[in-house]
């Protein structure tokens, strides 16, 4: 980006400056390098202060984190003193040079908090590296709508499965050497004249060769002609253009006369084959006026190479196992970011938790909720459909009539869930599967709140889990045996890594006396509760409780329903509704001669 002397404007997306109090030293201004630059976010520098930042490490991480086409436009310094803007300018110019931003050494945008407060407003200026004492004030235009009107997103995925032939005593450096060799070959193929990309545009598939012909500019379509009119909703509530899918191909049609010679070269020591699996996935933000060929040449291919190099370094750290390295796109801010995870040990493994925590800190995200797990990824496949193709009902309690408790306070589930009940998925569990269905509903809550990407388990998978952990014998699999609250506790811990509290109630008549404890659970945890007692299991979604009179009602989701996905039938039949411990007709819903165990899953306080 080159800022001309006559330009005095910078556009800032609404919300880009939120939460600046969390940045203690320096932040990077990230955005689109249009003729009038657009600031999309402020990212924290994680490697040092403005005066001692490790810009090599910063550039290495930002190069993979940010989609190609987004740039570090400058910096903001929150240090004390009037020299903050100058410090920000000096360090931002060096970072832009490290990132090889066009014109990066000439100058950049700098920002500083207005007045003495590091609040949510910044004052923007232009820093001229040739005359650093001259800071030109910039007029700011706040953007409330979409900043993507002039941008086309391009997405390219490569699923690579590469065999590495290693001696059993191979060291990490030997592993890396062979992995680097394989990946370098892939990079060479991507850059070769025989490579091409197929773009799935709104008007059909278009061939984009890497090798440019003399009249390539006139032949290649502009990115604007590839752009879809549809938008993609992000988990953060933002809208981005639906990415154009690119497929890497080889367009070679030349016949080569090659003689193959086979040689048998016995290895001196036993050799093991280790498969290196890389799921490469890059996202690029191309200006609409850029040609498709240029977008592939200067954005997509460099992004693929950067991601492959980063994955190679990650594979070296886990050389003793079979790395399963994948890239995922997220959009917790006003623009997408890309994170690379090694899922060899599962996404709850501490190494990934620490990696996500670091990303939360850089992106200025809260540290008590999952925003960058696999389940949060953009364009992730949702599996909310049944095997018959019909969709399950979600949040069936929403819109129910009042409970009838006079002066009561409602404490309800926090978030969405799917209603699992008897006879779904063409599976007959009538009479024995109520606890299984309650467990499925609970796990669907954790999925829909993005705490996990683990699929909701089937009855057989639940049984297999209980056998695997030693809770049941092998004969339990494919049986119709009931399970209880403790069995659910074991499965939730095994599959999700989530702990549960168990509340024991000796009699159904004692349940109203637990309303304060239940209300606290829904206010602080917000998870659905499984109620097990005798031969029945229910899911508790909330309570309505008057502390002065003791009057109470329980919001029950009943898994014993055997009908279709019809909300009217579910409500009219009382399969989801408010229940009193003892109804107006004197009939007990919670039996006085039965004990009850309430399984209370705890919301994870982690990223």
Domain count, the chain: 3
> What is the residue range of 274's domain?
151-251+270-376
CA distance linking residue 151 with residue 223, whole number of Å: 8
**What is the band of 535 on the pLDDT scale with cuts at 50, 70, 90?**
confident
Same domain, 208 and 344: yes
CA distance linking residue 516 with residue 506, whole number of Å: 17
Same domain, 460 and 433: yes
Averaged pLDDT for residues 585-595:
91
Tokens of 596: 């009850």
Cβ-contact 129, 107 below 8 angstroms: yes
DSSP string, 564-599: -S-HHHHHHTTSEEEE-SB-TTS-BSS-TTS-EEEE
The owner of tokens 């390295």 is: 325
Domain CATH code at residue 75: 3.40.140.10
The owner of tokens 């502390």 is: 547
How big, in percent rounded to 5, are the helix, strand and coil portions of the chain? 30, 30, 45
**What is the band of 607 on the pLDDT scale with cuts at 50, 70, 90?**
confident
pLDDT of residue 317: 74
Please give the share of the chain, as a percent, with pLDDT higher than 70. Answer: 88
**What is the band of 82 on the pLDDT scale with cuts at 50, 70, 90?**
low
Q: Which of 48-52, 157-161, 323-327, 401-405 has the least mean pLDDT?
A: 48-52
Averaged pLDDT for residues 554-580:
97
Domain assignment present for 263: no
Same domain, 432 and 551: yes
pLDDT at 227 over 50: yes
Residues marked as catalytic: 434, 558, 560
Domain CATH code at residue 588: 3.90.70.130
DSSP string, 479-497: ------HHHHHHHHHHHH-
Same domain, 354 and 430: no
CA distance linking residue 446 with residue 527, whole number of Å: 8
**What is the band of 296 on the pLDDT scale with cuts at 50, 70, 90?**
very high
Same domain, 353 and 449: no
Same domain, 419 and 513: yes
């Amino acid at each position: 980006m080159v800022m001309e002397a006559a330009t005095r404007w910078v556009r800032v997306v609404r919300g880009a400056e939120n939460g600046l109090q969390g940045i203690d030293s320096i932040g990077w201004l990230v955005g689109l390098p249009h003729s009038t630059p657009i600031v999309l976010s402020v990212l924290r520098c994680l490697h040092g202060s403005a005066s001692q930042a490790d810009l090599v490490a910063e550039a290495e991480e930002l190069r993979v984190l940010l989609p190609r086409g987004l740039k570090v436009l400058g910096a903001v310094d929150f240090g004390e003193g009037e020299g903050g803007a100058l410090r920000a300018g000096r360090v931002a110019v060096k970072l832009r040079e490290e990132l090889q931003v066009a014109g990066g050494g000439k100058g950049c945008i700098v920002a500083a908090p207005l007045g003495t407060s590091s609040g949510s407003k910044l004052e923007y200026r232009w820093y001229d590296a040739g005359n650093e004492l001259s800071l030109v004030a910039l007029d700011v235009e706040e953007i409330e709508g979409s900043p993507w009107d002039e941008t086309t997103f391009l997405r390219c995925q490569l699923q690579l499965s590469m065999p590495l032939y290693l001696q059993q005593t191979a060291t990490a450096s030997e592993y890396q050497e062979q992995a680097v060799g394989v990946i370098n070959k892939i990079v060479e193929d991507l850059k070769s004249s025989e490579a091409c990309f197929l773009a799935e545009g709104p008007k059909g598939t278009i061939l984009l060769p890497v090798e440019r012909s003399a009249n390539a500019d006139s032949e290649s379509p502009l990115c604007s002609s590839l752009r879809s009119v549809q938008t993609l909703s992000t988990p953060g509530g933002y809208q981005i253009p639906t990415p154009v899918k690119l497929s890497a191909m080889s367009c070679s049609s030349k016949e080569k006369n090659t003689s193959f010679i086979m040689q048998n070269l016995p290895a001196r020591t036993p050799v093991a084959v280790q498969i290196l699996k890389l799921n490469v996935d890059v996202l690029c933000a191309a200006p609409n006026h850029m040609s498709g060929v240029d977008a592939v040449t200067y954005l997509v291919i460099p992004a693929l190479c950067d991601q492959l190099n980063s994955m190679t370094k990650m594979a070296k750290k886990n050389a003793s196992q079979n790395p399963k390295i994948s890239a995922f796109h997220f959009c917790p801010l006003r623009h997408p970011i890309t994170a690379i995870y090694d899922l060899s040990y599962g996404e709850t493994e501490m190494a990934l938790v620490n990696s996500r925590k670091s990303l939360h800190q850089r992106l200025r995200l809260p540290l008590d909720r999952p925003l960058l797990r696999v389940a949060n990824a953009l364009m992730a496949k949702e599996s909310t459909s049944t095997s018959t193709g019909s969709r399950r009902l979600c949040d069936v309690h929403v819109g129910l009539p009042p409970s009838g408790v006079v002066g009561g306070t409602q404490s309800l589930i926090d978030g969405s869930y799917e209603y699992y009940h008897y006879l779904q998925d063409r599976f007959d569990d009538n009479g024995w599967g109520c606890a299984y269905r309650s467990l499925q509903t609970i796990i669907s809550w954790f999925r829909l709140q993005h705490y996990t990407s683990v699929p909701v388990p089937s009855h057989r998978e639940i049984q297999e889990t209980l056998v695997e952990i030693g809770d049941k014998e092998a004969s339990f699999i494919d049986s119709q045996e009931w399970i209880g609250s403790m069995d659910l506790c074991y499965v939730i811990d095994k599959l999700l890594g989530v702990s549960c509290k168990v509340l024991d109630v000796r009699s159904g008549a004692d349940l109203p006396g637990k309303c304060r404890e239940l209300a606290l659970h829904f206010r602080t945890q917000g998870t659905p509760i499984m109620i097990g007692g005798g031969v029945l299991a229910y899911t508790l979604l909330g309570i309505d409780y008057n502390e002065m009179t003791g009057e109470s009602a329980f919001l029950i989701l009943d898994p014993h329903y055997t009908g279709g996905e019809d909300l009217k039938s579910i409500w009219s039949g009382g399969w989801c509704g408010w229940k009193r411990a003892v109804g107006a007709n004197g009939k007990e819903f919670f039996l006085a001669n039965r004990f009850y165990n309430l399984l209370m899953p705890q919301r994870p306080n982690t990223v």
